[in-house]
């Protein structure tokens, strides 16, 4: 008992087991006496103490070994006991005497022990008993500075300068007490509105729970209210509250806020849209409501236990709380250490960290608990050693001592009774467990049942679970309140809350597993009956997951669906896995398991865990094929193709998708067939088959038009636009993608939206519209963050870093690219690693860190070749060729680039300017001039970004040919374009070339001026090698 897992009542369990064994032997003994005249009996020893324990696997099971003096003493007690006796050591007796009845103490001599050892025979189980005690009100101690800070923030909030105060502290340190004291002062001096919400101890898997709790507090809604009542309260409040807004805003708020509270959605554009659209509408509505409430009165919003906040609520609050600064609102957010609030990096919110009380403050608090009597130095030190300044520990420990008679007043001081310290439980858990044990049977049972429901529990729900009338619970709940175990909470519905989560945990841990399962099942069924809305699906599933009930799988799947809808990926995976495991164990049909495999594979794909996704999707596809459900099989194979695309195995994906298209094509247009063509277009882009990509996207669009699938029409349009960008028509491609984005956004598919934003950002980048490119790409990164997908985020950061580099923000670009690289590596196997690598290589190349550039670029090339990523390979090869040129190896650069130029659909606008430069450096002026001219001609059609670099190379060629007038005209155009974008690195390189023309024209002053301009830019950017060359040229010019 206690190894490998410890419980607070291990000693009691051991003694009860021992007594049970003695009872169980009686029928065996009776048979033996009758048949064989033999009197079998057992003797048992029970001891408590520290041991060394360990576990290991043996024969397919876990074995546990313990060793130590406590174990040896138990063996000695067993050998000393009389037949049929249970003999307990002193510590065991002290921990169990509230439950076990013991006989007279005996002092025995045990082998290996000095002197005599006291032991007690356990004779049976006694009725629970315990002395009742009255609650004590103690003043707030040691929080004057924090209170002044809160009151000062409240003054500023009332004046319209909204505040967020995060109160951080360990359990029991006084966060809730500080807030309560502050609210009392606010209530006494102003007419503020107080709105409260709390996270649940298991609430991180319950989507939007905290937001729903806030809305219930705001609109006076009780958890057990019927849906019609909830809708009625919203309809009665929202028009009044948002009276200054138009009917569209009011209707939208009614729809989305009602949906959070479980009200079935009406048939409206918002509720029929995808999760992303509804999320944005929800953010707008919460902002509108918050602003309207603050416009009527100053508001205090109390958010409790934020360390358990669900991810969906965190996303909403991270947006909405940005408005607080301009409102008459004070947000008090209480949390434990280890969790980071979404506003923690903002400049204006404040933070209060509650430390344990100083020794003197803890002594003052102890005196208040003791009724104004000063604790003796011995008692103060005892409490300090065990409470460590935690106010809750101080109070609970002293009250336990008071209840057990462990302290007495002598000479005006409260002192420990000699020997009392040994009888006091040595940890807070033991104190709380001891207090629970002293409750009368009914009150203790109520506490145990309530602990299963949660830290807070509605009285109505508690009555349903225990099967009692509400009036029958008044007495035991009163006892819990007087014992300071649980207190009533002033909400629209009568509910109680455990004084501390540790109290709830202790009560819960006193239940045996079978009893826990029974109570969780009763709780799940009671919640489903009392609160029949989807809002509670995850709570119901939580309780069912602790049982063996057959209906648990149904609720777990529902909870997974709800979590998946808001991209709470880990929660969804947990629910789906548990549901599938239970269904498999129950012998469910294969198509039912395939449904769960498909859902698991889809969420794993979204989360970027492609190997796991493929495993589940392949299993589902196989079942669908065997059952001839080809539509479902096609849907899953399309998802398989997408997983291969992002996993970096595109050829496998093409081989998987193409036969399925052939199989489904004969049956006519369908959503699955359109999905397969869309997957094929995504696979073709990775291997560089851009025309095939365009054709597949067009086929998907054709099918989607026939079946009237707006989401697939929009996605196919985005794919066609991206194909145009890759085929050298960035402006046309950009227009097509931008036209598709509103439709994609309305559909709510975050992955398609992210992809569209990335690609329209790339089109804008190639076109030289860098501000727009950055804006689109930042939006794409936000979408990838909501997906919770590391490799999509890494890919998007790679693109963002390249844009920042072009704009001249090299320090920020490096930070972003290194973050992207870390994310890509953390994501495991994927196709995105080459993107941050190649742009880090480009940045290092420009910075003059050539060894670092070589390493990053070769790593990126290896990855691009391994994953079949043609687009990344062309970029990397071009950058490596540039590195060859600047390091004096132009021949190597030519050898690297010439094979790329010959490939079908090669990105010539990217490749041939660098090829012309390399040819110039080897002295092949004729070919260099020809290719440079081709580069300028081609890049004029394919985007300003490539054109600027092509013009620079053409200027170099024309200067070498002494065609100065043409070089000057080209240079002027290139400089204007570089400044227009802006593209400072290209501008500085152009200025360096201009200085050569000026010197040749005999204008040394202008030549030096251009070099100085270039040098300033190179230094600002951090282009070390370029700066060194400019400095050398300046020195030469001055000489």
pLDDT mean across residues, the chain? 87
pLDDT at residue 570 tops 70: yes
pLDDT of residue 129: 32
pLDDT at residue 853 tops 60: yes
pLDDT of residue 57: 61
pLDDT per residue over 628-659, tens digit each?
A: 999 999 999 999 999 998 888 999 999 999 99
What radius of gyration, in Å, describes the C-alpha atoms of the chain?
37
pLDDT at residue 484 tops 60: yes
Alpha-carbon span 652 to 893, nearest angstrom: 32
pLDDT of residue 746: 87
| Average pLDDT for 369-381 | 87
C-alpha distances in angstroms, 649 versus 509, 636, 652, 661? 49, 17, 6, 19
Token pair 């291997």 in the structure block, residue: 687
| Average pLDDT for 784-790 | 79
HEC profile of 537-583: HHHHHHHHCCCCCCCHHHHHHHHHHHHHHCCCHHHHHHHHHHHHHHH
Q: Cis ω on the peptide bond leading into residue 717 (within 30° of 0)? A: no
pLDDT per residue over 236-279, tens digit each?
A: 999 999 988 888 888 888 988 988 888 887 777 777 777 778 78
C-alpha distances in angstroms, 470 versus 459, 473, 476, 524, 848? 7, 5, 11, 19, 78
| Average pLDDT for 547-555 | 92
Could you give the domains of the chain? 10-125 (3.30.70.1230), 144-353 (3.40.50.300), 359-424 (1.10.10), 447-529 (1.10.10.10), 615-702 (1.25.40.10), 789-878 (1.25.40.10)
pLDDT of residue 429: 57
C-alpha distances in angstroms, 348 versus 175, 304, 324? 21, 20, 10
pLDDT at residue 422 tops 60: no
Distance of CA 659 to the CA centre of its chain: 38
Ordered DSSP codes for 813-862: HHHHHHHHHHHHHHH-S-S-THHHHHHHHHHHHHHT-HHHHHHHHHHHHH
pLDDT per residue over 307-333, tens digit each?
A: 889 888 999 999 999 999 999 999 999
Quick one: CA torsion of 531, 536, 539, 540, rounded to 10 degrees?
A: 60
Ordered DSSP codes for 906-920: --HHHHHHHHHHHHH
pLDDT at residue 133 tops 50: no
pLDDT of residue 136: 42
Give me the percent of the chain exceeding a pLDDT of 90. Answer: 54
The set of residues, in sequence order, having a beta carbon less than 8 Å from that of 703 and lying 6+ positions away, is 669, 670, 673, 674, 677, 712
Q: Which two tokens stand for residue 511?
A: 């239940």
Higher pLDDT, 674 or 33: 674
Report the residue count for the chain. 1039
pLDDT per residue over 76-110, tens digit each?
A: 999 999 999 999 998 888 778 867 899 999 999 98
- Least trusted range by pLDDT, from 197-211, 279-293, 1014-1028: 197-211
- 3-state SS class at 422: helix
**String of b and e for 730-741 (b: at least 16 CB within 10 Å)?**
bbebbebbbebb
pLDDT at residue 132 tops 50: no
pLDDT of residue 131: 25
| Average pLDDT for 49-64 | 64
pLDDT at residue 460 tops 70: yes
- Least trusted range by pLDDT, from 142-151, 811-820, 900-909: 900-909
Residue 366: pLDDT band with limits 50, 70, 90: confident
Alpha-carbon span 794 to 819, nearest angstrom: 7
Residue 189: pLDDT band with limits 50, 70, 90: confident
pLDDT of residue 1012: 93
pLDDT at residue 128 tops 50: no
Q: What is the DSSP letter of 749?
A: -
pLDDT of residue 574: 93
Residue 224: pLDDT band with limits 50, 70, 90: low
- Does residue 341 come out as left (phi exceeding 0), alpha (psi in the -120 to 50 range) or beta? beta
pLDDT per residue over 16-35, tens digit each?
A: 899 999 999 999 989 998 89
């Amino acid at each position: 008992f206690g190894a490998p897992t410890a419980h607070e009542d291990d000693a009691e369990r051991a003694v009860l087991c021992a007594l049970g064994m003695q009872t169980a032997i009686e029928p065996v003994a009776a048979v033996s006496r009758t048949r064989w005249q033999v009197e079998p009996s057992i003797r048992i020893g029970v001891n408590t103490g520290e041991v060394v324990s360990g576990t290991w696997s043996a024969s397919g099971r876990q074995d546990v070994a313990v060793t130590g003096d406590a174990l040896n003493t138990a063996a000695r007690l067993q050998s000393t006991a009389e037949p049929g006796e249970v003999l307990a050591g002193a510590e065991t007796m002290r921990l169990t005497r509230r439950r076990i009845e013991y006989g007279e103490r005996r002092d025995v001599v045990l082998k290996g022990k000095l002197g005599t050892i006291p032991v007690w025979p356990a004779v049976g189980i006694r009725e629970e008993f315990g002395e009742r005690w009255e609650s004590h009100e103690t003043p707030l101690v040691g929080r004057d500075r924090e209170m002044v800070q809160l009151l000062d923030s409240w003054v500023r909030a009332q004046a319209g300068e909204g505040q967020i105060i995060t109160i951080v502290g360990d359990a029991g340190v006084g966060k809730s007490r500080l807030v309560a004291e502050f609210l009392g002062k606010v209530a006494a001096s102003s007419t503020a509105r107080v709105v409260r919400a709390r996270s649940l101890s298991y609430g991180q898997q319950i989507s939007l729970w905290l937001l729903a709790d806030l809305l219930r507090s705001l609109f006076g809604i009780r958890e057990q209210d019927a849906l019609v009542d909830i809708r009625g309260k919203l309809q009665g409040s929202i028009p009044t509250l948002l009276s200054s807004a138009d009917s569209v805003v009011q209707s939208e708020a009614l729809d989305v806020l009602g949906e959070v509270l479980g009200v079935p959605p009406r048939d409206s554009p918002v509720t029929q849209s995808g999760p992303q659209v509804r999320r944005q509408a929800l953010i707008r509505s919460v902002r509108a409501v918050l602003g309207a409430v603050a416009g009527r009165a100053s508001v205090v919003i109390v958010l409790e236990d934020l360390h358990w906040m669900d991810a969906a609520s965190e996303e909403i609050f991270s947006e909405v709380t940005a408005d607080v600064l301009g409102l008459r609102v004070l947000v008090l957010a209480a949390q434990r250490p280890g969790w980071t609030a979404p506003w923690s990096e903002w400049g204006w919110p404040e933070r209060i960290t509650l430390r344990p009380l100083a020794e003197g403050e803890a002594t003052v608090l102890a005196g208040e608990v003791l009724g104004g009597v000063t604790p003796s130095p011995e008692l103060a030190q005892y409490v300090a050693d065990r409470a460590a300044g935690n106010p809750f520990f101080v109070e609970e420990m002293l009250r336990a001592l008071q209840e057990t008679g462990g302290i007495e007043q002598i000479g005006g001081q409260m002192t420990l009774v000699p020997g009392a310290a040994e009888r006091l439980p040595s940890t807070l858990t033991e104190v709380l467990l001891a207090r629970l044990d002293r409750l009368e049977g009914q009150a203790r049972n109520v506490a145990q049942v309530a602990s299963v429901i949660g830290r807070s529990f509605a009285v109505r729900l508690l009555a349903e679970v225990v099967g009692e009338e509400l009036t029958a619970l008044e007495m035991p709940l009163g006892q819990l309140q007087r014992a300071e175990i649980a207190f009533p909470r002033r909400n629209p519905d009568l509910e109680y809350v455990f004084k501390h989560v540790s109290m709830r945990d202790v009560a819960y841990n006193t239940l045996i597993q079978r009893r826990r399962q029974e109570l969780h099942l009763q709780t799940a069924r009671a919640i489903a009956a009392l609160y029949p809305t989807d809002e509670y699906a995850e709570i119901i599933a939580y309780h069912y997951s602790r049982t063996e009930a057959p209906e648990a799988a149904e609720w777990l799947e529902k909870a997974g669906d709800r979590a998946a809808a808001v991209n709470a990926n880990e929660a969804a995976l947990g629910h789906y896995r548990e549901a599938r495991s239970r269904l498999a164990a129950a012998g469910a049909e294969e198509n039912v398991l395939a449904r769960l495999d498909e859902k698991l594979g889809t969420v794993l794909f979204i989360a970027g865990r492609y190997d796991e996704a493929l495993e589940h999707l392949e299993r589902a596809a196989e079942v669908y094929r065997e059952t001839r459900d080809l539509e479902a099989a096609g849907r899953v194979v399309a998802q398989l193709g997408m997983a291969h695309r992002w996993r970096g195995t595109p050829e496998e994906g093409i081989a998987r998708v193409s036969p399925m298209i052939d199989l489904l094509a004969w049956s006519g247009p369908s959503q699955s067939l359109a999905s397969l063509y869309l997957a094929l277009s995504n696979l073709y882009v990775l291997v560089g088959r851009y025309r095939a990509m365009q054709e597949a996207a067009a086929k998907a669009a054709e099918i989607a038009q026939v079946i009237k699938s707006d989401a697939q029409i929009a996605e196919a349009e985005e794919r066609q636009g991206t194909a145009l960008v890759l085929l050298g028509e960035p402006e046309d491609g950009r227009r097509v993608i931008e036209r598709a984005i509103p439709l994609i956004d309305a559909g709510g598919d975050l992955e398609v939206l992210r992809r569209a934003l990335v690609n329209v950002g790339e089109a804008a980048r190639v076109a030289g519209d860098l501000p727009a490119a950055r804006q689109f790409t930042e939006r794409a990164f936000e979408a990838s963050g909501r997906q919770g997908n590391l490799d999509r985020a890494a890919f998007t950061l790679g693109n963002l870093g390249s844009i920042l580099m072009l704009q001249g923000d090299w320090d920020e670009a490096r930070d972003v690219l290194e973050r992207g690289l870390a994310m890509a590596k953390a994501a495991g196997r994927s196709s995105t690693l080459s993107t941050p690598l190649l742009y880090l290589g480009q940045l290092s190349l420009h910075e003059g860190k050539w060894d670092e550039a070589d390493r990053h670029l070769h790593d990126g090339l290896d990855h691009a070749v391994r994953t079949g990523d043609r687009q990344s390979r062309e970029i990397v090869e071009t950058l490596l060729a540039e590195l060859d040129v600047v390091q004096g190896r132009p021949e190597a650069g030519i050898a690297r680039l010439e094979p790329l130029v010959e490939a079908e659909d090669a990105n010539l606008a990217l490749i041939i300017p660098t090829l012309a430069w390399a040819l110039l450096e080897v002295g092949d002026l004729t070919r260099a001039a020809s290719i440079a001219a081709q580069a300028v001609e081609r890049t004029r059609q394919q985007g300003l970004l490539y054109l600027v670099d092509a013009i620079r190379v053409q200027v170099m060629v024309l200067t070498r040919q002494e065609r100065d007038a043409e070089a000057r005209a080209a240079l002027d155009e290139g400089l204007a374009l570089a400044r227009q974008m802006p593209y400072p690195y290209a501008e500085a390189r152009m200025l360096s070339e201009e200085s050569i023309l000026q010197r040749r024209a005999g204008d040394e002053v202008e030549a030096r001026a251009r070099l100085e301009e270039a040098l300033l830019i190179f230094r600002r950017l951090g282009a070390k090698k370029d700066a060194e060359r400019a400095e050398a040229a300046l020195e030469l010019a001055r000489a």
